[in-house]
Amino acid sequence: MSSSEQSCFTHVRDGLPSMVDVSGKGSNKRTAVAEVRVELGAEIIARFENKDLQGPKGPVLQTAIIAGTMAVKKTSDLIPFCHPLPVEHCGFEIIPDESGVVIRCEVTTTGKTGVEMEAMTGVSVAALTVYDMCKGVNKGIRIQNLHLVSKTGGKSGDYLAKP
């Protein structure tokens, strides 16, 4: 691997996986927003009432928010080279429409590294929780379009996904 190829991958040093050294970085406020779409199907959407989906296992959306929040806080335990971060804010928004829901997670910290992976992990686990709680009604649920919406702070600057 050439040095130019190696520089593209922040978690590879001398051809081996490596945690990024953030000891020389300064702390600043960092925020990331990620989202994912869960296609539920008409039968499940028909069960929504006032944005509250009660499934056989309980309140689906509330449980997804709790699971997603727990995942945000455990990201460094799940992703090998993520630094453990003090999460200062974690918020979820779940937006239902005619065929599913969009789950959005915003995470904020003041630290030496960003919270993109925390936001991505949060929406992933929230979506998996929705699937788990609704699979008895429809096993054809699809989790789609997991992506980073935006990030602020840090050396690489701000990022906003193109629509």
What are the residue numbers of the active site? 132
The tokens for 47 are: 């069960």
Work out the number of other CB atoms within 10 angstroms of the CB of residue 115.
32
3-state DSSP call for residue 105? strand
The dihedral through the CA atoms of 73, 78, 82, 83 has a sign that is: positive
3-state helix, strand, coil in the chain (%, to 5): 30, 35, 35
